[in-house]
Structure formats: C-alpha cells, structure tokens
Amino acid sequence: MPETLHASEVKSQTDPSIAKQYDNETPKEQQVKQFFEMADGLKVCMLNTYRNGVGPVGRSMAVAKRIGPDFLFLANKHSTKFSDLSQNKEVQISFQDAKSTQNWISVSGTATTTSNSDPRIKDVWSRATAAWFGDLGDGTHTGGPEDPRMTLIEVKSKYVTYYQTEVGMLGMAKEVVGAAVTGGVANTGKIRELSEQDLEKARSTQ
C-alpha cells in the first residue's frame, strides 16, 4: 500500500520515495547475496567512464565474469574507454531490468586494465566474443583469446546501491495510481546500500 507522507517528512529535506523504501532491516549478508543474484541475472550493463573535457561517458558491456562484488569485462584495447581509464580509474556500472521487474543496480568502483597475457582471458572468452572484434585475416587479429587487442577491464566495487521490487508490474501500477490518488508515496520495493566495508567483507568470503 502507498505510504502516508507526513508534514515533518516534507520538511526533512529528504526524498520520501527513497526514505520510505530504504532497507535498514535485511541482514547485509542477505543483501549481498541478492545483489549477486540480481547482477548475474541481468548480465549486460552500462560501463561509465569519465572523459576529460566531456564528463561521464557510457557504453553497453556484457559482464565476462563476476568475482564476488567485482566484475571482469573483455574489451578491445584500442577503444576510447582505455584512454578514459588512463586518465581516471573511477567508473560506474549500472544495470536495469526495464522489461519485467524494474530492478536496478548501480556500482561505483575503480578499474584496472590488463594486457593480453592475462590468463583469465582464456577462461572468460567465448566464440560470441569474436563478433565484437572481427577477424582481420592476418592470423593474429582473429578475435580469439590470443588476439593482442583482447584485454580485460577489472572493476573493483567500492559502493553499491540497488533496488529490488517487491510487487509485479500490476502491483507497481496499483501503487503508483494509489499514491497519486491518496497523496501518499508509492511503496514498490526496497532500496539497499552496500558500503566499501560491506563489499570488502563479501570479497574476503569468496
């Protein structure tokens, strides 16, 4: 049901749609587990870097592998995101399930890049990856794991916030309509935050 909005909350300089859905009750271990499950289910995200003179720049990327709270991406070392990362290692990853649940994840972290000698490339490479690199026909730039263009971007998470819906699409519509009619605030799910300390603890248990 929509949450009632009180005058004191209006004056509190907080966003009621956030404050009323913020989860202070679920144990952090469960929040971390559900973050992992949600990220694994979405798989494709926006990887946002910072470009001097431009600002944030995003592009769609498939996650090659999640390792605890951290993420690996296969990438072409000639792409502009590498020049971005050479100047600023801070990145953001964002996921959203816009088709069904409306769940979303935002990950802030730092990125490191590797050379083609990283053995993990062979572990995460798949035939489909070659479609994004192409085969130049020279026996070297084949789009395979040994292709010198093939490198890894590893994002180490520092801060995570995510939203997990607790109603279906029909329930969400009812909440929004009900809140608009009653003057309340739609209550559709939970917003959670994982701090750097939470993520480090999760990392140590993997």
Range 163-173 average pLDDT = 62
The candidate with the shortest Cα–Cα distance to 161, out of 197, 202, 187, 195, is: 195
Q: Which residue has the higher pLDDT, 186 or 166?
A: 166
Q: Which residue has the higher pLDDT, 193 or 8?
A: 193
The candidate with the shortest Cα–Cα distance to 162, out of 96, 92, 105, is: 105
The pLDDT, as a whole number, for residue 177 is: 42
1 falls within a domain? no
What does the alpha-carbon distance between residue 4 and residue 102 come to, in Å, rounded to a whole number? 23
The pLDDT, as a whole number, for residue 151 is: 97
> What is the number of structural domains in the chain?
1
**Can you read off the two tokens belonging to residue 187?**
């209550």
pTM of the model: 0.83
Q: Look up the CATH number of the domain holding residue 50.
A: 2.30.110.10
Range of the domain at 35: 27-167+190-204
179 falls within a domain? no
Q: How many CA atoms lie within 13 Å of 178's alpha carbon, on the beta-carbon side?
A: 14
199 falls within a domain? yes
What does the alpha-carbon distance between residue 137 and residue 123 come to, in Å, rounded to a whole number? 24
4 falls within a domain? no
Query: Is residue 125 scored above 80 in pLDDT?
Result: yes
106 falls within a domain? yes
Q: Which residue has the higher pLDDT, 196 or 179?
A: 196
